[in-house]
Structure 1
């Protein structure tokens, strides 16, 4: 059985969280630890954070700071370079249409694997995107953040007073109505199945006055190279995750056993993973996490047996890991999963 590959985001995307936390007199490391992330997760812009952990991190921050629209607060900081190479490609696209096309084409530089597309008809264009982990309810702030950031970037290209023809967002309507209206405009549909921005054809054809055609070409070439590097990383991580899954069926997922299954030395596997900015321990944790979520939501396997299947020596170790991964004990996640499934069947 292949392990489900997690979705990752670049740390640069939420780097402004450190400054916001300091303004509230809170050490960002405490928020990271509470979300089950490494205390140095935001230290380097190229660090990778699992989508689920990043979403939980923003929920924790919103609660700690008493800000129900924290996602907007974070997006409005939008520091230069936060969206990295993708942001620079978009900012130098010749037109709004080409900026949106670049946003879709190179989105993997910030979040991968992702689901974003841009389509046109005779009157307008639709930018549509989805977030992973449909069962995870604790992602309102991340959806709010990413949606607001998208709108802010569009307004930088078109003009601060521009408003789309329509907006659909997956998160519910919040109490901060004025802030939502300022970001989305008056025509917004909440609790939608996907996130959509509808843009009129005239706006799509508008030239980007700040574009540099030569720099745009150079940035595109650089982005293509980076995407190829990420594709290589994804392949190596996927093969390592598959090897871990296979090894788990016969015993503990030790580095030596996984490397042997992949027909390479432990040092070689570690070095190759390091070249792709990850570690064996991180891939092991992500693989266990994906399998744990599947077992808990889609099966009735006892918790003691799940712990064994994931290579934990004791159920207590599995429980501690689940709390770090999901923010709750495995028994609670199983109950929530069954409740969600029941709701989907009766809907």
Structure 2
């Protein structure tokens, strides 16, 4: 009799577009598509279907063949670097990243946690520095190095416009010297045989020269507030948004957020009231945005989305989403695919 864990591995959860991109990447390196799919049981017609989804078991088989066929241990990281915002279906976040660099990292992590659920990610921030740790929740075993490099390569590609000096740490060895890895990510640090697989990356001190007046104003305002040393209500509002977006689930409460900001819950409520909002309103706004993104751009089951967003069950999620939008999650998903 199959266990619930075994059944979960057969549920279609990963968009086939990732497999298509991986095949194109390997074909440029002389690997034939037939060789990659030989032992996976996946038909080429499935990958040609723009709406196709793969199960965890199918994805693992593709990655196993990929890991065996790759001759350069850096190739997985390099493939990850090709997974930019449009590749993940996140082109709309490019504008967000230009105008609100602090929010980009949190939103991307939250989306990938559900949209590409091969590994989980834990996001922490301290000041202007972010730390993302990868967590193997599926027990992928010997494929963990391959997956970790893909994720880290993509995180580097997505975040390099707003973050600087990446420090990559991997909990497995490498036969290559560090300078060989730095050819893929100049100016970055690489460490192997570390205790955890994680990346640390601070926001850039100044925006890239893209003539974006909104971004210049944002950075100037942030610098002014840092010099004054007295956080305003608007600054607290931005910090609260960042923290909610990094983890909108059950641990996201007024008390927990206040503790992370080193203020009392009462002071937090006063700051948010001064900014004409509340913790509940902020959290619901972010939950609604994430929920709509997942419903339209992923095939993740509703109960999984509900759990990730902090609801105790699917019914509670459906009731809340209908109160926000006037539609049920199922209606939004069906309407988007018609």
If the length of structure 1 is used for normalisation, what is the TM-score? 0.52
Q: Is residue 32 of structure 2 the alignment partner of residue 18 of structure 1?
A: no
Aligned position for 1:88: 92
Pick one of 145, 148, 153 that aligns with 1:143: 148
Deviation at 1:3, TM superposition (A): 0.2
Q: Is residue 178 of structure 2 the alignment partner of residue 198 of structure 1?
A: no
Residues 1:34 and 1:51: Cα distance change in structure 2 (over 3 Å): same
Aligned position for 2:181: 180
Deviation at 1:196, TM superposition (A): 1.8
Residues 1:3 and 1:139: Cα distance change in structure 2 (over 3 Å): same
Cα RMSD after superposing both structures: 4.4
Whether the 8 Å CA contact 1:37–1:53 is kept in 2: the answer is yes
> Aligned to 2:141, what secondary structure does the other structure show?
coil
Residues 1:99 and 1:74: Cα distance change in structure 2 (over 3 Å): same
Q: Work out the CA distance in 1 between the residues paired with 2:118 and 2:138.
A: 12
Residues 1:44 and 1:163: Cα distance change in structure 2 (over 3 Å): farther
Deviation at 1:55, TM superposition (A): 4.3
Aligned position for 1:3: 4
Aligned position for 2:103: 98
* Mapping 1:137-286, distance limit 5 Å: 137-158=142-163, 162-164=164-166, 166-175=167-176, 177-183=178-184, 185=187, 187-192=189-194, 194-200=196-202, 202-203=203-204, 206=207, 209=210, 224-228=291-295, 233-235=301-303
- Kindly tell me the number of residue pairs found equivalent between the two proteins: 233
Deviation at 1:137, TM superposition (A): 0.9
Whether the 8 Å CA contact 1:116–1:130 is kept in 2: the answer is yes
Aligned position for 2:52: 47
Q: Work out the CA distance in 2 between the residues paired with 1:91 and 1:169.
A: 31
Whether the 8 Å CA contact 2:14–2:55 is kept in 1: the answer is yes
Residues 1:114 and 1:58: Cα distance change in structure 2 (over 3 Å): closer
> Aligned to 2:142, what secondary structure does the other structure show?
coil
Q: Work out the CA distance in 2 between the residues paired with 1:65 and 1:188.
A: 20
Residues 1:40 and 1:193: Cα distance change in structure 2 (over 3 Å): farther
Q: Work out the CA distance in 1 between the residues paired with 2:68 and 2:176.
A: 14
Q: Work out the CA distance in 1 between the residues paired with 2:51 and 2:162.
A: 26
Deviation at 1:34, TM superposition (A): 1.9
Q: Work out the CA distance in 2 between the residues paired with 1:134 and 1:197.
A: 21
Whether the 8 Å CA contact 1:152–1:183 is kept in 2: the answer is no
> Aligned to 2:54, what secondary structure does the other structure show?
strand
Whether the 8 Å CA contact 1:125–1:199 is kept in 2: the answer is yes
> Runs in 1 of length 4+ with deviation above 6 angstroms?
210-213, 219-222
Whether the 8 Å CA contact 2:63–2:143 is kept in 1: the answer is no
Deviation at 1:144, TM superposition (A): 1.3
Q: Which of the pair has the greater relative contact order for Cα pairs under 8 Å at 6+ separation? A: 1
Deviation at 1:102, TM superposition (A): 0.8
Which residues of structure 2 form unaligned runs of 5+?
A: 215-285, 306-332
Deviations 1:265-310 (Å, cap 9, x if unpaired)? Answer: xxxxxxxxx97xxxxxxxxxxxxxxxxxxxxxxxxxxxxxxxxxxx
If the length of structure 2 is used for normalisation, what is the TM-score? 0.54
